[in-house]
Amino acid sequence: MQTAHAHRPSANRNQPEFDAVVVGAGFSGLYMLHRLRQLGVTTRVYEAGGGVGGTWYWNRYPGARCDSESWVYCYSFSDEILQEWTWTERYPSQPEIERYLNYVADRLDLRRDIQFNTRVTAAAFDEATGRWLITTDAGEQVWATYFITAVGCLSADNLPAFKGLETFQGEWYHTGRWPQEGIDFTGKRVGLIGTGATGIQVAPVVAEQAEHLWVFQRTPNYAIPAHNRPLDPEFIRQLKASYGEVWEIVRRSAAGLPIEPVERSALAVSPEEQRQIYEAAWQKGGFYFLFETFNDILVNPEANETAAAFIRSKIRETVRDPEVAELLCPSDHPYGTKRPPLEHGYYEAFNRDNVTLVDVRKSPIEEITPTGIRTTDGEYPLDIIIFATGFDALTGPLTRIDIRGRGGVALAEKWVSGPRNYLGVAVHGFPNMFTITGPLSPSVLTNMPAAISQHVEWIADCIGYLRQHGYRGIEATADAEDRWVAHANEAAEQTLYPRAKSWYIGANVPGKPRVFMVYVGGLQNYRARCQEIASKGYEGFSLTPEAALAVGAG
Ligand code: NAP
């Protein structure tokens, strides 16, 4: 949409001005602030929560734990921090990650530039001056040359519109907005809706406390054992002595994990060898089952079925009641095409007398009543309902902010048929806006801190380049954006990912366009492409010299 006159957001023109405004103080916002400071860029970070952590501030539900191993679920940029900080478990719990991010914030003295308890509600680009006007929920407005979103991929919670929820007399919670003070489930009848990575973590922990837990399952998932364990001092000593090599492997890998690629098809080995390989990965636990077994699980349906069948055989071995075991066996999507959860006693929980699986595929939830949940099979009386129903992923955290680019065009309007951007980091029509781990970047298909670090460093280098070369503005061209969207779509089409009704494709939110929103080409390849683009003077971007803007603003 073109307007005759440059679009100007309305504001008092004497608002405070920063070089950069960053939205969010999780893994990405904290590191972005640190890098911007090193460049001498004045920065204000806004954070909706009362502390640092982002995802790890809000998702403090029982059992919340990271599915990446602690020693790589962290920053790699500072040797001091790597040596000073000591992880205690293979998979870090939410409190430990929150402590880590607080430690980093203190260590780098980041808090003085972060305004907590403040949500950014709007950001509008002023064409005359090439600046962004950012508005918060406190009614505050500030100007910034660079508008950087560090809002995470899974921060806009998805609460399905269940009829009657407002009438429920008990307590209810969404896992992504868990109360700071925690919840005591002792003696309570608890209903858990959702069996994604979150619900699978919640169930065994709540089962240990609650009088009874009903798990309302619509789609069973393929969960792999995590085999969490405390880290012993010798492991830590060796790790700290060899961190350089660990990060080298991470940087070479597609998923940002210390896993070397395998060059072996599941269909090229005998059934016995195949089972041995799966069994070894099962015993090891974690994402190794997906990434260290065979290289065609995510691209070949037949190969995928061998992994799926193995997992089903494990579920049947673990769950004593054969009917319950069958209900827990997934078959409607290929393994790995929904984010594969790790489990800490999930399947065993169904062997407890106080846990019941409710099949809401067969008997859907009709409504929430004042006293519980009613499915087409009858009512389940409950004291507490937990919604582990996920997120309006990837685009939701951005489109829930009223972001307007050139011509006053809203990002939500531009993305009405799915996200469109260049490299997942820049959007045509939205100059000087950078989206850390935005849609169509590798993000959630990787170990997040690895993807975040790559984006933050690339953005910082880009801003450094602009300042050094006298540019005030940078904007993805329409052509580069079209090519990136086409490339990202093509890459996804070559995999099995689009075959699942997952949040990767927007299928979990009614009315959301079905577009695969993540770049599947691998973090290592993506990093190389981003470096190449930068080395060519930011190919696919148009750069605005300071002088040109000064004239335009006249
Ligand atoms: P999710 O994967 O979207 O799962 C939501 C669950 O809620 C699904 O089982 C879904 O069923 C169910 N659901 C949604 N609406 C429903 C309805 N109206 N009726 C009945 N069931 C309904 O969300 P999540 O488990 O919160 O996980 C989201 C992502 O967060 C994960 O995939 C992962 O990337 C991340 N995560 C990471 C970690 C970690 O590493 N620490 C831990 C947890 C989560 P359907 O499948 O039938 O739609």
Per residue in 466-486, pLDDT tens? 999 999 999 999 999 999 999
Rounded to whole angstroms, how far apart are CA atoms 182 and 295?
Answer: 42
Q: Is the CB of 218 under 6 A from ligand 1?
A: yes
Rounded to whole angstroms, how far apart are CA atoms 386 and 367?
Answer: 15
Pairing label, strands 365-369, 114-115: unpaired
Cβ atoms of 215 and 195 within 8 Å: the answer is: yes
**Which atom of ligand 1 sits closest to the CA of residue 339?**
32
Q: Is the CB of 65 under 6 A from ligand 1?
A: yes
- Ligand 1 centroid from CA 197, angstroms: 6
Pairing label, strands 43-46, 114-115: parallel
Query: Token pair for residue 312?
Result: 């089903």
Position 552 pLDDT exceeds 70: no
SS3 21: strand
Residue 12's pLDDT band, with cuts at 50, 70 and 90, is: low
Rounded to whole angstroms, how far apart are CA atoms 385 and 393?
Answer: 22
Half-sphere exposure of 257 (CA within 13 A, CB side): 20
Residue 548's pLDDT band, with cuts at 50, 70 and 90, is: low
Give pLDDT tens digits for 298-333: 999 999 999 999 999 999 999 999 999 999 999 999
For atom 36 of ligand 1, which residue has the closest CA? 197
Rounded to whole angstroms, how far apart are CA atoms 147 and 394?
Answer: 18
Q: Is the CB of 346 under 6 A from ligand 1?
A: no
Give pLDDT tens digits for 342-373: 999 999 999 999 999 999 999 999 999 999 99
pTM: 0.96
Q: Is the CB of 160 under 6 A from ligand 1?
A: yes
3-state helix, strand, coil in the chain (%, to 5): 40, 20, 45
Q: Best of 508, 517, 518 to mutate for ligand 1, by most ligand atoms within 8 A of CB?
A: 508
Residue 7's pLDDT is 72
SS3 372: strand
- Ligand 1 centroid from CA 503, angstroms: 8
For atom 33 of ligand 1, which residue has the closest CA? 197
Determine the distance from the C-alpha atom of residue 270 to the mean position of all C-alpha atoms in its chain, rounded to a whole number.
37
For atom 39 of ligand 1, which residue has the closest CA? 66
Q: Best of 55, 221, 339 to mutate for ligand 1, by most ligand atoms within 8 A of CB?
A: 339
Q: Average pLDDT in the 128-147 region?
A: 96
Residue 549's pLDDT is 56
For atom 23 of ligand 1, which residue has the closest CA? 390
For atom 6 of ligand 1, which residue has the closest CA? 194
Q: Average pLDDT in the 172-188 region?
A: 97
For atom 20 of ligand 1, which residue has the closest CA? 218
Mean pLDDT of the chain: 96
Residue 547's pLDDT band, with cuts at 50, 70 and 90, is: confident
Q: Is the CB of 212 under 6 A from ligand 1?
A: no
For atom 12 of ligand 1, which residue has the closest CA? 194
Give pLDDT tens digits for 235-283: 999 999 999 999 999 999 999 999 999 999 999 999 999 999 999 999 9
Residue 164's pLDDT band, with cuts at 50, 70 and 90, is: very high
Residue 553's pLDDT band, with cuts at 50, 70 and 90, is: very low
- 3-state per-residue secondary structure call for 448-508: HHHHHHHHHHHHHHHHHHHHHCCEEEEEECHHHHHHHHHHHHHHHHCCCHHHCCCHHHCCC
Position 403 pLDDT exceeds 80: yes
Nearest-CA neighbor of 434 among 402, 470, 463? 463
Cβ atoms of 357 and 328 within 8 Å: the answer is: yes
Query: Token pair for residue 311?
Result: 């997992």
Position 216 pLDDT exceeds 80: yes
Residue 16's pLDDT band, with cuts at 50, 70 and 90, is: confident
Question: How wide is the angle at C-alpha 404 spanned by C-alphas 552 and 111, nearest 5°?
Answer: 100
Other Cβ atoms less than 10 A from the Cβ of 73: the count is: 21
Ranges of H-type helices in 9-93: 27-38, 55-58, 79-84
- Ligand 1 centroid from CA 194, angstroms: 6
Residue 2's pLDDT is 40
> Which residues are CB-neighbours of 384 under 8 A, at least 6 positions away?
170, 171, 172, 173, 183, 185, 188, 189, 190, 191
Rounded to whole angstroms, how far apart are CA atoms 101 and 113?
Answer: 15
Position 503 pLDDT exceeds 90: yes
- Ligand 1 centroid from CA 341, angstroms: 10
Residue 13's pLDDT band, with cuts at 50, 70 and 90, is: low
Cβ atoms of 404 and 123 within 8 Å: the answer is: yes
Residue 550's pLDDT is 47
Residue 546's pLDDT band, with cuts at 50, 70 and 90, is: confident
Residue 203's pLDDT is 98
- 3-state per-residue secondary structure call for 90-141: CCCEHHHHHHHHHHHHHHCCCHHHEECCCCEEEEEEECCCCEEEEEECCCCE
Sheet of strand 378-381: strand arrangement:
365-369, 372-375, 378-381
Structural domains for the chain: 2-60+92-156+393-551 (3.50.50.60)
Query: Token pair for residue 337?
Result: 């095409």
Beta bridge partners of 224: 342
Determine the distance from the C-alpha atom of residue 289 to the mean position of all C-alpha atoms in its chain, rounded to a whole number.
21
Position 137 pLDDT exceeds 90: yes
Q: Is the CB of 174 under 6 A from ligand 1?
A: no
What is the DSSP annotation of 265-304? -GGGS-HHHHHHHHHHHHHH-TTHHHHSS-TTTTT-HHHH
Q: Is the CB of 386 under 6 A from ligand 1?
A: no
What is the percent of the chain where pLDDT is above 70? 97
Q: What amino acid occupies position 384?
A: I
Rounded to whole angstroms, how far apart are CA atoms 344 and 285?
Answer: 10
Q: Best of 218, 222, 392 to mutate for ligand 1, by most ligand atoms within 8 A of CB?
A: 218
SS3 27: helix
Q: Best of 73, 389, 444, 452 to mutate for ligand 1, by most ligand atoms within 8 A of CB?
A: 389
Position 513 pLDDT exceeds 60: yes
Beta bridge partners of 433: 147
